[in-house]
Amino acid sequence: MPTPASLPTGWIDGAAHKGAGPQHTVLNPATDDPVATLALADAGDVDIAVASARAAQHDWGTATPAERSEVLHRYAAVLRDHVDELAAEEVSHTGRSIRLATEFDLPGSIDNVDFFAGVARNLEGKASGEYSGDHTSSIRHEPAGVVGSISPWNYPLQMAIWKVIPALAAGCSIVLKPAEQTPLTTLSLARLATEAGLPDGVFNVLVGTGADVGSAISGHPGVDLVTFTGSTAVGRKVAEQAAKNGTRVQLELGGKAPFVVFDDADLDAAIHGAVAGSLINAGQDCTAATRAIVAPNLYDDFVAGVAEVMASVKVGDPTDLATDMGSLSSHAHRDKVAGMVDRAVAAGARLVTGGVRPDGPGCFYPPTLLADVAEDAEIYRDEVFGPVLAVSKFTDDDDAIRRANDTVYGLAASAWTRDLYRAQRAGREIKAGCVWINDHIPIISEMPHGGVKASGFGNDMSTYSLDEYLTIKHVMSDITAVAQKPWHRTVFSG
């Protein structure tokens, strides 16, 4: 067994920071071996990190867009030089397959950095002008200030990038807390940012628990904006903590994506799309296809086809390039997923494939297909966050759209059809931050990722996410040089 690495508690003011909190071991969920040990941060460390971010914010926020862009370009280049190391770290603390890390996490994250290096120089707004006739009005987009950010364990590297990079492009400084189960790549990102020339204190990281460090960040009076990615339940707690100081929040929360297969769909495409969309990252993806809602004429063939393709998915050692799907993130999480599947079967769902925990070390769980799932079943309504697809049948198009929207969540959805009008209707009527037509999962830096309903509000990625990290100021300058203005008559007439 390799000796676990000894990690710092965080990265503050451009250097490793050692906290005095309890010792924590990061495990490899594919082997159960320890990967790293570190001392967790506490609320006192949050004060130090916020002070560092505050001290650095003014100079970074007043650097020219070109200067900020140049640092981000250099950062992208440094990340490119470290892709192998970052991918190996990402695999070691998540159990995800190396193919997912090298073909999805790393290229997507680096593309995001490249994209925001350009966006940093493209702030847009309303034209300055004499809207009142007596004044020149202009709009200033200014950095929101110090950002406190909290990220989840499912895509540690990508979620950190989605939070940090638009903040940096906007001129904010940041204190980021990754999930304590998966801190390796976030610590590396901060160290590599310093290597790329990001000024000290602009990007700080602290590893700690949600109860201690997450709540201290979200309730910190020195934080100007709290951005959070994680579960809906915790997101609401974060919003409550931030509300005590009246701090602005951005929340990227859970999902329960419908996957609607209309009666004219390309069945082969829908089958392959459903397997890829439900099993990506072993289903630990907020946009994963979790509820397939299928037309009666295609139902049996869809279920049989998905079962066949799922059976071909190779589950195992995530470091092996031949592996399709690695492990889940922890034993506790696997117990949660398995419990939901067991209860679904007990409640009458048909287990078509999977559903049995393998023996041996690691938190593996097989691709699992449940058919004939009732609309009121827990597995149909609640987030599973595992490699599980629940299938049910709709009656007609109205019923399909109704079922797609019959969820508290609204993060992502897909519709499968060859009919232009059906596709347009799905895009218009399904309530979600993103509706894919004849695909499920692809994301791109230029387009936003965000939710509605219990999936949160605000956006990651795209120029829309830059807006999350800016404030808008109106500067209105009198151009008449007249002492008594016409509008003064509303206050005094003498």
Name the catalytic one among 89, 180, 252, 383. Answer: 252
Cβ nearer to ligand NAD, comparing 219 with 367:
219
Beta carbon of residue 446, minimum distance to ligand NAD (angstroms, whole number) = 17
Q: In angstroms, rounded to a whole number, what is the distance separating the alpha carbons of residues 228 and 40?
A: 20
Type of residue at 228: F
Tokens 């071909």 belong to which residue? 312
- Is 144 in contact with 471 (CB distance < 8 Å)? yes
Catalytic status, residue 172: no
Q: Can you tell me whether residue 159 is helix, strand or coil?
A: helix
Contacts (Cβ under 8 Å, ≥6 apart) of 115: 445, 446
Contacts (Cβ under 8 Å, ≥6 apart) of 194: 11, 14, 15, 200, 203
Given 3-state DSSP classes, what are the helix, strand and coil percentages for the chain, each rounded to the nearest 5?
Answer: 40, 20, 40
Beta carbon of residue 154, minimum distance to ligand NAD (angstroms, whole number) = 5
Beta carbon of residue 89, minimum distance to ligand NAD (angstroms, whole number) = 17
Cβ nearer to ligand NAD, comparing 237 with 431:
237
Beta carbon of residue 66, minimum distance to ligand NAD (angstroms, whole number) = 30
- Is 9 in contact with 213 (CB distance < 8 Å)? no
Beta carbon of residue 383, minimum distance to ligand NAD (angstroms, whole number) = 5
Cβ nearer to ligand NAD, comparing 71 with 390:
390
Which residues does residue 393 pair with via DSSP β-bridges, in sequence order? 294
The DSSP bridge pattern shows strands 434-437 and 412-416 to be parallel
Tokens 């990402």 belong to which residue? 90
Beta carbon of residue 13, minimum distance to ligand NAD (angstroms, whole number) = 22
- In Å, how far are 76, 80, 252, 288, 344 from 339, measured between CA atoms? 42, 40, 26, 19, 9
Cβ nearer to ligand NAD, comparing 86 with 150:
150
Contacts (Cβ under 8 Å, ≥6 apart) of 193: 75, 202, 203
Q: By C-alpha distance, which of 165, 154, 164, 181 is closest to 114? A: 165
Q: In angstroms, rounded to a whole number, what is the distance separating the alpha carbons of residues 120 and 260?
A: 38
Catalytic status, residue 446: no
Beta carbon of residue 55, minimum distance to ligand NAD (angstroms, whole number) = 24
Type of residue at 106: L
Beta carbon of residue 408, minimum distance to ligand NAD (angstroms, whole number) = 12
The DSSP code sequence of 441-463 is ----TTS-EE-EETTEESEESHH
Q: In angstroms, rounded to a whole number, what is the distance separating the alpha carbons of residues 461 and 119?
A: 11
Cβ nearer to ligand NAD, comparing 8 with 255:
255
| b/e sequence 463-483, b meaning 16+ C-beta within 10 Å | bebbbbbbeeeeeeeeeeeee
Q: By C-alpha distance, which of 309, 365, 323, 363 is closest to 103? A: 323
Cβ nearer to ligand NAD, comparing 317 with 460:
460
Beta carbon of residue 241, minimum distance to ligand NAD (angstroms, whole number) = 6
Cβ nearer to ligand NAD, comparing 71 with 384:
384
Cβ nearer to ligand NAD, comparing 231 with 319:
231
Cβ nearer to ligand NAD, comparing 136 with 209:
209
The DSSP code sequence of 102-118 is IIIIHHHHHHHHHHHHH
Name the catalytic one among 89, 90, 180, 286. Answer: 286
- Interface with ligand NAD (CB under 6 A): 150-154, 159, 177, 179, 209-211, 214-215, 218, 229-231, 234, 237-238, 252-255, 286, 383, 385, 411, 449, 451, 455-456
Q: Supply the residues annotated as catalytic.
A: 252, 286
